[in-house]
Amino acid sequence: MLPTPENYAIYPSVLPVGRVMEMIISPLERAFLFADGEELTVTAIQTNGNEDNYDTLCSHKSFPVTAKEGVIRFTYTYEEEGQYLFWLIREEKRIAELFVYALEEDLYALTPLKGDFHSHSVRSDGKRDPAALAGHFREQGYDFFALTDHNRYYPGSEVDEAYAGVKLGITRVLGEEVHAPESNVHIVHVGGKSSVADLYFHHQEEYAAEIAEYESRVPADVPEMYRYRYARAMWATDRIHEAGGLAIFAHPYWRPKNVCVHNVRDQLARMFLTNGMFDVYELVGAMGQVGVNRSINLWADLRSEGLKISIVGSSDAHGLEKSATFSHTFTVCLAEKNENDAIIDAVRAGRTVAVEAAGEGYDRHYRCYGNLRLVSYAHFLLRHYFPKRQRICQGEGTAMRAYLMGEVDAAMLEAQVAYSNAWRDRFLGKKPPVLPSAAIRDFEARALAVHATGPVTRGSRIKPKVAPEKK
């Protein structure tokens, strides 16, 4: 990953509407420290999510600022929710563009999380160790993931046991992928405290009796060809709710290998969603681009008809290296805490954005789906928060996998976790920033004093301090 072309940071970068806020522009390297008494100009712009043609906007507010102790301080009141841009200007030259986002109190109180609700390990048909998979997700900047192996709830406990007693930065959401016998409808169960798959594997007679009863309760308008699938989906979602979990309608437009039909037909998918069968709809994920497009448009059609359902983006990751979805389809979730129950509550409340990422590096862009207010905030986070956080989490995820193999100890891993959490809190305005100390400022001052005695150069050419006389 290439370095980012940024010299300065602004704190806090996420802040509440309506309060007088002290803003601090701080250098990211010693070479960019501001000289005490240096006078600059700040221009503030409310962008309202539009990042084009800033020069033509009439909402500019410019004011002078004076540097002290290596940083710039000023106060600003954010009158409405949305994105704001600050230009930092030195001698009529723009030296920095800094973005912040102001939130109403209801969203400001929450923590933005990046996560995946659908993944697989070697305990079903995946290719990675369950505990190592957690490290791979953290390396990509994920705050949570659900291990949802096919018909297996227990592999998640391997993750917990492998990192027992270690404070991690990533949360494992409880989960499994449920495939009720004789049904091809895939249901991702997340958050519940017990397994649903165990019920039909280890209590087959009870399951058969219950299914017979559920078949008698299928609504009369369900066509005969779908009734057995519908009954089994009813049974599974009821059991998921009894376990305290959420039932996610997974990838209806997935096509099994060498099969030319979708996993679930349009008619049945519409019935599931309009009848309130599921709590959550997996809007984007492992369905191929045509399948994802169909999924989005089905959701759009049903929304116009009054459908209200939480949505998520998931990878359905089995392998990582050649995956078209791992790190490319995921969910931005606004939760009270990065904990299983809080994440489930956030999904249930609809505080999620389903995300597709395309491209890499500086060319990466995002397609976000959900409530416009949440999508607007998510776009800011995806450009200015999550990429920076991923850089910090990369070492943490690597250390997690090294810890599993005995290469590093818990203290080294937890030190990285502490740093990533502290950076998060500073960005989100939950903790004050760490500013250049007197020792740092003194070091740079001494380096500049030595530099001032050196040769005057332009690149490799040494220039004389006194211009030669013209003949």
Q: What digits encode the pLDDT tens for the residues 220-261?
A: 999 999 999 999 999 999 999 999 999 999 999 987 776 656
Residues 48 and 153 in one domain: no
pLDDT score, position 462: 74
**Do 163 and 417 meet the contact criterion of CB atoms below 8 Å apart?**
no
In this prediction, residues 444-459 reach a mean pLDDT of: 85
Strand-pairing partners, residue 61, are 44
Backbone angles phi, psi at 243, to 5 degrees: -80, -5
pLDDT > 90 fraction of the chain, expressed in percent and rounded: 84
Least Cα distance to 26 among 45, 50, 8 occurs for: 8
Least Cα distance to 338 among 163, 105, 169, 166 occurs for: 169
Side chain identity at 393, as an amino acid letter? C
Domain boundary among the residues 54, 89, 108 is at: 108
Residues 190 and 223 in one domain: yes
The CATH number of the domain holding residue 171 is 3.20.20.140
User: Is the pLDDT score of 456 beyond 90?
Assistant: no
User: Is the pLDDT score of 451 beyond 70?
Assistant: yes
Asked, for residue 436, whether it belongs to a domain, the answer is: no
Domain boundary among the residues 361, 376, 403 is at: 403
On whether the pTM is more than 0.75, the answer is: yes
How many CA atoms lie within 13 Å of 191's alpha carbon, on the beta-carbon side?
22
pLDDT score, position 359: 77
pLDDT score, position 452: 85
pLDDT score, position 57: 53
d(Cα 81, Cα 103) in Å, to the nearest integer?
Answer: 5
Asked, for residue 214, whether it belongs to a domain, the answer is: yes
d(Cα 287, Cα 261) in Å, to the nearest integer?
Answer: 12
pLDDT score, position 464: 65
Residues 90 and 136 in one domain: no
Dihedral (C-alpha) 142, 104, 352, 193: value to the nearest 10 degrees?
80
Residues 286 and 155 in one domain: yes
pLDDT score, position 358: 86
pLDDT score, position 460: 75
Q: What confidence tier does 425 reach under pLDDT thresholds 50, 70, 90?
A: very high
User: Is the pLDDT score of 141 beyond 60?
Assistant: yes
pLDDT tens for residues 264-318? 899 999 999 999 999 999 999 999 999 999 999 999 999 999 999 999 999 999 9
Asked, for residue 166, whether it belongs to a domain, the answer is: yes
Residues 123 and 268 in one domain: yes
User: Is the pLDDT score of 58 beyond 60?
Assistant: no
Q: What confidence tier does 36 reach under pLDDT thresholds 50, 70, 90?
A: very high
Residues 130 and 269 in one domain: yes
Asked, for residue 301, whether it belongs to a domain, the answer is: yes
Where is pLDDT greater, at 52 or 340? 340
Please tell me the total count of domains within the chain.
2
Domain boundary among the residues 372, 388, 403 is at: 403
d(Cα 346, Cα 96) in Å, to the nearest integer?
Answer: 35
Residues 83 and 178 in one domain: no
Residues 393 and 278 in one domain: yes
Residues 53 and 136 in one domain: no
Asked, for residue 133, whether it belongs to a domain, the answer is: yes
Q: What confidence tier does 467 reach under pLDDT thresholds 50, 70, 90?
A: low
What does the mean pLDDT of the chain come to? 93
Q: What confidence tier does 377 reach under pLDDT thresholds 50, 70, 90?
A: very high
Q: Which residue segment(s) compose the domain that 163 sits in? A: 111-403
Residues 184 and 317 in one domain: yes
pLDDT score, position 364: 82
pLDDT tens for residues 83-135? 999 999 999 999 999 999 999 999 999 999 999 999 999 999 999 999 999 99
In this prediction, residues 427-438 reach a mean pLDDT of: 96
Residues 244 and 257 in one domain: yes
User: Is the pLDDT score of 136 beyond 90?
Assistant: yes
Residues 90 and 132 in one domain: no
Asked, for residue 203, whether it belongs to a domain, the answer is: yes
Least Cα distance to 244 among 159, 344, 311, 150 occurs for: 344
Asked, for residue 451, whether it belongs to a domain, the answer is: no
In this prediction, residues 372-393 reach a mean pLDDT of: 96
pLDDT > 70 fraction of the chain, expressed in percent and rounded: 93
Asked, for residue 256, whether it belongs to a domain, the answer is: yes
User: Is the pLDDT score of 169 beyond 60?
Assistant: yes
pLDDT score, position 47: 86
Helix extents (H) in 349-385: 372-384
The CATH number of the domain holding residue 31 is 2.60.40.10
Side chain identity at 383, as an amino acid letter? R
In this prediction, residues 399-405 reach a mean pLDDT of: 97
Q: Mention every residue, 6+ apart, whose C-beta is less than 8 A from residue 351.
A: 110, 333, 334, 335, 374
